[in-house]
Structure 1
Amino acid sequence: MRLQLLLGTCLVALGASTASAALVHRYTFDGNANDSVGTANGVVMGNTASFVGGQIVLDNPTGTGSNAFNNGATPDSGSYVDFPNFTFSKAAAAGQYGAVSVELWVTMDTNRDWSALFSAGISSGLEGNSEGGNDNFPYVQMVPRTGDGGAGNDFRVTTNGVAGPESWVDAPGDGTDLQPGVEEHLIAVFDQLGGLPGTLTVYRNGALYGTTVPIANNLDLAAMATAFPITTAADVNVWLGRSQWPDALLDASVNELRIYSHALTAADAAANNVLGPNVVVPEPAACVLAAVGLAGVAWRRRR
């Protein structure tokens, strides 16, 4: 039985090994927002956040906005996490050049229209501001609930290119937003390995949620050449819990955030969903040696 359990664990680890090798930033929120893999430590802005049980709790009051005049710097303006400039684009330019994956586990407390879970890019107000803007202000955002008045308020991952239309992935038809009180596992894969415009693929709780060609929902071929350039993006606003637009700050708990310089696969998504957050993935070589050792012991006992 021990051999079977170990081999099963090893198979899961082997399935996730390629993704683990490309992990460049990891935030376990064990009392701080430090990066346990790289050097891109986050800074908690505002005073309504806390760390509980290995999670960061962004306890933002109702109506707390995230625009230039309410950015977490004053006592009553709520909280979010600010990561170093270019954390996203540098990851996309490393490893598998032109690919970056964002993975996290989140439990929503209160859903608010267009409140951003993770955001990287720039707004028309430039660094530190959330004034929105399209065209020359590219960004990517993970949004727990859109704001279309209740007709399909679903979870969405969106990208905005340069001088081109916005693109996104959400559920077909009338989908569901992230469910309050339920921890959900989310992965967004931005893949431009083959050049622009590339693809955007989203996984939710280990299963494929949707995929699309960035900024090409309207099949405008001319606009496709201006896709969000993930390796050279002006991501001076890299945030957990704050939007590039003047929307409400996030009201949720985040268990772990990971950023990979690699395009995670469907197998990676399924394996990581089983393993969960805050785990140490066994090295494949160690798994093999341990399994061989147990097999040898079992063979000797049978003689």
Structure 2
Amino acid sequence: MKKRIIFVFLLFVFLGVTFFCAKKVSELNKTDVVALLENINQSPLAVEIKVEESGINIERGKGRSQYLITLINPEVSFSTAVYKHLDMKVPEFRVPVNMGNMVMAYTPSKKNLTLKSVGKMKCTLALSELLPELEVKKAGTDKEPPEVTFNYSLGNAELEGYDLSSLIDTGGKSFEDVLTEFISSNKNIKVRADGFAAGFVIKGEQGGTVSFSIKGMESSSQFEPELFKAFIQKQDSAEILSGALKKKAPLVDVTASFNGMDFILSLPGKEIQAGYEGAGFFYSLKPSRHGDAFDFVSGWDLKSVRAEGIP
């Protein structure tokens, strides 16, 4: 009888602990998500993700500790100021990106955050607004420089291996350290995208438009992060290349396929349309069979091409 009482007591304790743990796991709320995004916004990579609490949806993901976080109409932007850390002379401006939705998988206990998909992405950049010096008239003339606007949009994209965990807690870390961690955790990425379109609109005496659209795309990329880390931290890459040869690891391996692409060039009194169906390409930089050098291999295929309006 005594053993039965102990057994029942331990059973209740076990059920109580299980319920308590389950309750603790389900505590992720919209306020936590806002705080998570604020941490990302403070990273040296100058990426900002903002959204109203009403635009945050939280669902269970794989396992009891993972969540799927959906952001509705988030405001996403990044600053080109980060390029100065790489000694690249790029004008500083913030690039805004409008999105219909963004889905992330988050495991709080492991501080693991991955980007799963994005949808209805749009961006419009007026170069004269981003680069005020373009507004200056040409010396000795009364002509205004042409107004150039860049547009791009994306219907939807699904991603595998796009890890944002390195941006969650970057307190005290340098730009180089955070970028190195980010690159190391994103060495294998797969993307499936549809509805991509981009183009330039040029207004002026000889203005026109250039646009292209991609019907569907799949790509995968793999690279050796140590080589990029050496570039970022300005280290000698000879030892890294030697190590890659020994372990027979590819430095770069990229493949991509497209269902089709349309291209339109519109000029005063003239329009050129072109496109292709079923295209793909690949390139890689891998150790040779003997392991004493790297071989560069590339290739492409194309099913059909069409063009109209070419003189």
Q: Could you tell me the TM-score, scaled by structure 1's length? A: 0.24
**Higher strand content, 1 or 2:** 2
Q: Could you tell me the TM-score, scaled by structure 2's length? A: 0.23
Rg larger for: 2
**Higher helix content, 1 or 2:** 2
Indicate the structure whose relative CO is greater, using CA pairs within 8 Å and at least 6 residues apart: 1
